[in-house]
Amino acid sequence: MGRLKGISPLLSPDLLHTLCSMGHGDELVLADANFPTASMCNEGAKQIRADGHSIPALLEAILTLMPLDTYCWSPASVMDMTDTDRCKGLPEPPLWPEYKRLMKEAEKRDIPLQTMERFDFYGRARKAFAIVQTGETALYSNIILKMGVIAEPTTVQTVPPQAATTENC
């Protein structure tokens, strides 16, 4: 793989091409090492391998390039803990606060994490643009990111005085 200035070496050519191909509202799944990526991708999502990389490291690199959606309540969704794991006394997944911190740094705003029941999460992942299989081993570390837009700065367009009417305002 060639190296590019300002591009994290964690971002493979496949992942860079995928990010460039995505449009507003498309979704990218960052999946842990236990996620059934191959079977999920049978329905159309592109499979990308990022073995050996953690989700937080990839998330940080991806967020340098990918804007998160601002037209929805939360552009980031995680798989909720099962009742069984809650009853066992498992604490909140330790990566969730890290995800919030990384997204806040990248987006300059708080990003809430939407939690989804396991099989609802799987259903949504099947419809994603791509699923990135990582080497992450932490439980409940899967996250779905929704692509936003990069808006051009608004410019004030002046209307000649003779053309100014209430229709132009």
Is 122 a known active-site residue?
Answer: yes
Strand partners, 48: 132
Torsion of CA 54, 123, 76, 88, to 10 degrees: -70
In degrees rounded to 5, what are phi and psi of residue 103? -70, -40
Give the C-alpha separation, 23 to 51, whole Å. Answer: 25
Comparing CA positions, the residue from 130, 59, 18, 11 lying closest to residue 2 is 11
Is 17 a known active-site residue?
Answer: no
List the catalytic residue out of 17, 24, 71, 120: 24
154: tokens are 């608004």
- Computed from CA positions of residues 125, 113, 33, 8, in that sequence, does the dihedral angle turn out positive or negative? positive
Is 140 a known active-site residue?
Answer: no
CA distances from 8 to 16, 122, 151 (A): 10, 29, 24
List the catalytic residue out of 26, 32, 53, 69: 69
Catalytic positions, please?
Answer: 24, 69, 122
